[in-house]
Amino acid sequence: MIVCLLLVLMGMRAQAVSENLWEASENGDVEFASKFRGDWNQTNEEGMTPLMIACDRGKKKMVDLLLDKKVALDLRDREGHTALFYAISAGQVEIVKKLVLAGASVQKVDEERRENSLFEAVRLGKSELLDFLIQQDKSQLGGTNAEEETPAFVAIRFYQTKALKKLLLSGASSEVRNREGLSLYQVAKQMDYPPEHEIFKILSDNSSQKKK
């Protein structure tokens, strides 16, 4: 009976410590987290690790601590997202750089949508973030998601004109087609961009340069 009670109490204490670590990651409580002894890669009900939570909340010092603890960088939560995905979606350029330089993969940061790091960065439209991620692996420019669309398609769908221009100048193809057989130009037409919109000039200029 006493042994069972002790086991229950130990289980309750372990759960409380775990919850406190997740809370510390969310709040950036490095002092508490630095005293933690246990599994740094534990997950909560959503499958999120402390690193994912810290990235999502933009807690740079907590991220530094977790990286110092050599936590797993490419684990996924229940939605198929990695820590790098959360850092990108939160627009945390400095944290994104820390993760990638520490070895986090830029490929398939969103498993459900089968997307590499450029897709979410394009949606956000943050130039510095996009520049850095393109430099890390240019093969991402031709990567396709579950809809068989490249990051350039996403730039058009999310009205990210500057991002589209950057992608094309970096080497992304303007001749690609999605699963429905539509080109970038045709998708732009579907999106009801006015004929004089800059996006058509960007596509036209890129196509002309490729023909030279």
pLDDT, averaged in runs of 10, over the chain (212 residues): 41 46 88 88 93 97 96 97 98 98 96 96 94 96 96 96 96 95 95 90 81 59
What pTM was computed for the model? 0.87
Q: Hey, CA dihedral for 89, 167, 151, 107, is it positive or negative?
A: negative
pLDDT of residue 12: 37
Angle between helices 127-136 and 117-124 (to 10 degrees): 160
Residue type, 63: V
pLDDT of residue 14: 38
What is the number of other CB atoms lying within 10 angstroms of the CB of residue 131?
13
pLDDT of residue 15: 40
pLDDT of residue 20: 82
CA distance 45 to 47: 5
What is the number of other CB atoms lying within 10 angstroms of the CB of residue 139?
11
pLDDT of residue 211: 62
CB 116 within 8 A of CB 109: yes
Select the CATH number that applies to the domain covering 25-211 from these four: 1.10.540.10, 1.25.40.390, 1.25.40.20, 1.10.10.60.
1.25.40.20
